[in-house]
Amino acid sequence: MRRRNFVIWLAAGALLIGCREAEVTPTPGAGSATTPTAEPTVAPTPTVEPTPASTTSVGTPEVTATPGRATLVAVYFLRGEKLAVVRRPIPETPLVGTAALLELLAGPTPREEEWGFRTEIPVGTELRELTIADGVATVDLSSDFASGGGSFSMRARVAQVVFTLTQFPTVQAVRFRLDGQPVPAIGGEGVIVEPPPGRDEFEDLLPLIFPEAPGPGETVRSPLRVTGTANTFEAMFMVRLSTADGSVLYEQPAMATSGSGTRGSFDVTIAFSVPQPTDGMLRLWEYSAKDGSEINVVEIPLRLEP
């Protein structure tokens, strides 16, 4: 269990604003703040009520809290052997890319671990610098990032960083440095990172139904938008929202923009009604064409508000 104190994914319906080339250079001294020329900024999803975060430091960069104000970023961990998303409230900051990476390096919270989330990024990995220019984010991590693990672990940890940074429209690919030095590959298994990889290089690490918003544990209100990607038979899958006692509030088929071997996107709006705040479960799955059983199941616990 790991969690060091301190999406974005685009939350359902969220808008990204003020996206320009970004450069973040740490000032001398451990734990000192970074000064950007610009970094992507994000707007929180209307259906989500994030809790204000506290001041957090991981490695050299620091994120400083803005009391009473927070936004959401997506952080990519693993659930089983596939990538999965959690969304974290962070203090309002111009260094949103840096803040997202700090959340990633902090690892899953105890509650997220109970839900099955884990990380392949080694404990002790520190963020030294982040720059964004011409669609490529260059991330400088401590050499701990390449320690331990086999080929799956190396690919997974690289994918975690790539997906966390490419949630921003100003980033299409990620270049890696370790302790300030450019590297063509990560670890003894030689995961190639030059030319800089983007999301397409990690299709094998994605679940066939890959919701990216909302994230687990979020408080949501009606209408709830569910967004992500899928690669299912004939692009079809099912969506159900229910309360903790099993009462079904919504159940309908949904369709991605493509399927049957090609990943497409989906955007589903769910209207629901609850008389009082209650725990709920968002469930997405596909019916097997072979025997009709439920396969590729994804469950996301939520807090439902009237």
Structure-block tokens of residue 1: 């269990």
Rounded distance between C-alpha atoms, residue 54 and residue 52, angstroms: 7
58 pLDDT more than 70: no
Greatest mean pLDDT range, 23-32, 49-58, 71-80: 71-80
- pLDDT, mean of residues 257-277: 97
Q: Above pLDDT 90, what percent of the chain?
A: 74
- For all residues of the chain together, what is the average pLDDT? 83
End-to-end CA distance of the chain: 34
- pLDDT, mean of residues 10-26: 33
Cα 71 to its chain centre, rounded Å, is 14
Lowest mean pLDDT among 21-30, 82-91, 124-133: 21-30
Sole residue written with tokens 């309002």: 92
- pLDDT, mean of residues 39-66: 35
Lowest mean pLDDT among 31-45, 49-63, 143-157, 204-218: 49-63
Comma-separated ranges of CATH 2.60.40.2550 domains in the chain: 209-304
Torsions phi, psi for 289 (to 5 deg): -70, -15
Structure-block tokens of residue 250: 């919504």
pLDDT of residue 187: 85
Amino acid at site 183: V
Those residues with Cβ within 8 angstroms of residue 165's Cβ, 6 or more apart along the chain or in another chain? 97, 100, 101, 137, 139, 171, 174
pLDDT of residue 40: 53
- pLDDT, mean of residues 57-65: 32
CATH class of segment(s) 209-304: mainly beta
Among residues 101, 105, 229, 215, the alpha carbon closest in space to that of 165 is found at 101
Asked if 266 and 231 touch (Cβ cutoff 8 Å), the reply is: no
Rounded distance between C-alpha atoms, residue 91 and residue 70, angstroms: 5
258 pLDDT more than 80: yes
- Using left for φ > 0, alpha for ψ between -120 and 50, and beta otherwise, residue 49 falls in beta
| Residues 278-301: tens digit of each pLDDT | 999 999 999 999 999 999 999 999
Asked if 118 and 108 touch (Cβ cutoff 8 Å), the reply is: yes
pLDDT of residue 188: 74
Size of the chain in residues: 306
Maximum CA extent, the chain: 61
pLDDT of residue 25: 34
| Residues 66-123: tens digit of each pLDDT | 445 688 999 999 999 999 999 999 998 999 999 999 999 999 999 999 999 999 999 9
**pTM: predicted TM-score of the whole model, two decimal places:** 0.79
Q: Above pLDDT 70, what percent of the chain?
A: 77
| Residues 228-252: tens digit of each pLDDT | 999 999 999 999 999 999 999 999 9
Alpha helices in the chain (DSSP H): 96-106, 110-114, 151-165
